Structure 1
Amino acid sequence: MSDHKPLILVTNDDGITARGIAFLVDCMQEIGHVVVVAPNSPQSGMGHAITIATPLRLYPTTIFPELPAYECSGTPADCVKLGKHHVLKDRAPDLVVSGVNHGSNTAISVLYSGTMSAAIEAAIEGIPAIGFSLGDFSREPDFSHIRQHVLSIARNVLERGMPKGVALNVNFPAKATEPLKGIKICRQANAKWQEIFDERRDPHGRRYFWLDGEFVNNDTGTDTDEYALSQNYTSIVPCQFDLTAYSVMEEMEGWNL
């Protein structure tokens, strides 16, 4: 890695054998030196979990035979931590990319998303980072229509940098009959999953629950990620890990505490 090409760490939450990470690795090889550290099994919905009570395992893999690639027993956030502090300890990556997730990560889903938690972990470490997600939940999603947007966004982040503590949440609509219209910079929609816990019984009569529900969007704004996707645009939401409600702090000064 002696030339001037950027060093790019690739991870995901669908697991190292997912089609989305293979596509993302192929894209990133166009613009930099790629190193892969990804979970050895699906980690969807893990949020920003890290492994603290059990050992972490990290093994070289031949899934990407021409690249330094490792599968990790931990979460997406674990993968970024191990990637930076162990695999790439002699050089910090210039960019961390996560995905491409099989399914969207818009609105409140950013809090649950393992894809975005990997990107946020990189932002915590001061590394420019992007989480990519595709709104296609099929077993064999078509990524072909998003390639140029993936490359354009990644190149812009490498050239322009990112503010400290900020990661980009990028969502693509599933492939349609018409080409993507473009890219929109958006805010996170005020939308969430309305959960239902389906109570069932196993063959031994023991009760268990299966999470189900529907996605409810009560946000009528035309500047949101959900709206952009509905209009066949790629959405980009800049995200930060500081959850402080600054607007409430002054009001609370008046409390009788």
Structure 2
Amino acid sequence: MEDKEKPLILVTNDDGITAPGIRALIQVASTIGDVVVVAPDSPQSAMGHAITIHNTLYCDPVVIDSHATYQEYSCSGTPVDCVKLATQEIMERKPDLCISGINHGSNSAINVIYSGTMSAAVEAGIEGIPAIGFSLLNYSMKADFKPSKPFVKKIIQEVLHNGLPKGIVLNVNIPDLSKSEIKGIRVARQANARWQENFDKRTNPMGREYYWLTGEFINDDLGEDSDEWALQNGFVSVVPTQFDLTAHQFIDNLNNWNFND
């Protein structure tokens, strides 16, 4: 592909612009297209689809890699703010693709609804931009992203080649394994799993009570077509994810209720 034909790729994340995961994602994206990075200036994990409406937003050009050939901006807002600012204020044209991540930690199953990583991808999808959220099942800032790179590149190339339907983005989770241990890529559905949550109640030195959220991840889904099954069995999971939350299958049933009597 000639330079003039290179796709324009927006890169963002929720772990912050200096996180190792986004640096790995930038490296991969830069081998495929022209890259613009707009990412939070600090960690924004579990922000979901939050946007900033009560505070000012700052978005400043930065140089993190002195050898970079791409533009990079650090934003004071959420991952969704980053996508909105990138597409409406910073980029000269709509990007051909938005990629978010690589997240430090899983965004499989129910985690997708809490994820700032995936919410950035969803926001791009809302704006009509093909989008992918990438996550590695390792929460450490010292995680090794090298084994992820070939799979990330392949999925990006496939999306650019095939496109995505309107209203669909991809949620990609990668097991924390060596390249030779990863068995391949498997298309899956979101597992029916949840968090069993508790609050650890404490008292600070001033006598005021406060809470830390804790929890255990519970997977009751026995299906072999879910993202959790794929990840537990050494596959990269790819889940087509939609942001239309309408329960279409229940509309006819609901129309039979006596709302207007």
Query: Would the TM-score normalized by the shorter structure come out above 0.5?
Result: yes
Matched, 1:255 2:254: no
Query: For residue 202 of structure 1, what is the aligned residue in structure 2?
Result: 204
**Equivalence for 1:82:** 85
- Name the residue aligned to 2:32: 31
Secondary structure of 1:54's match? coil
Tell me what 2:41 maps to.
40
Q: What letter is aligned with 1:144?
A: K
- Given residue 60 of structure 1, which amino acid in structure 2 is its aligned partner? P
Deviations for 1:82-116, whole angstroms, at most 9, x for unmatched residues?
Answer: 0101111x311000000000001011110000000
In the alignment, the residues of structure 2 paired with residue 36 and residue 148 of structure 1 have an alpha-carbon distance, to the nearest angstrom, of: 20
Amino acid at match of 1:242: D
Q: Deviations over 1:130-149 (max 9, x none)?
A: 00000011230011111111
Quote the Cα distance in structure 1 between the aligned partners of 2:213 and 2:238. Answer: 28
Question: CA–CA distance in 2 between the matches of 1:92 and 1:211?
Answer: 39
Q: Give the aligned residue type for 1:140.
A: K
Aligned to 2:16: 15
- Structure 2 residue runs of 5 or longer lacking an equivalent are none
Alignment correspondent of 1:212 = 214
Trace 1:171-210 onto structure 2 (pairs within 5 A). Answer: 171-176=173-178, 178-210=180-212
Distance 2:39 2:217 in 1: 28
Deviation at residue 64 of structure 1 after TM alignment:
3.4
Preserved contact between residue 142 and residue 175 of structure 1 (Cα < 8 Å): no
Give SS of 1:108's match: helix
Per-residue CA deviations over 1:30-53 (Å, capped at 9, x if unaligned) read 100010000000000000000111
1:179 Cα deviation from its structure 2 partner: 2.0
How far residue 10 of structure 1 moved from its aligned partner, in angstroms, is: 0.2
C-alpha spacing 1:2/1:227, structure 2 compared with 1 (3 Å) = closer
Stretches of structure 1 that go unaligned for 5 or more consecutive residues are none
Contact conserved, 2:48 with 2:119, CA < 8 A, in 1? yes
The 1:39–1:177 alpha-carbon spacing in structure 2 relative to 1, beyond 3 Å, is closer
- Percentage of matched positions with identical amino acids: 56
Equivalent residues of 1:145, 1:179 under 8 A apart: no
Match of 1:120 in 2: 122
Paired residues, what number? Answer: 256
Distance 2:14 2:52 in 1: 14
Cα displacement (A) at 1:178: 4.7
Which whole-Å CA distance do the structure 1 matches of 2:11 and 2:35 have between them?
7
2:29 is the counterpart of 1:55: no
Q: Distance in 2 between matches of 1:187 and 1:234?
A: 12
Q: For residue 28 of structure 2, give the secondary structure of its aligned residue in structure 1.
A: helix
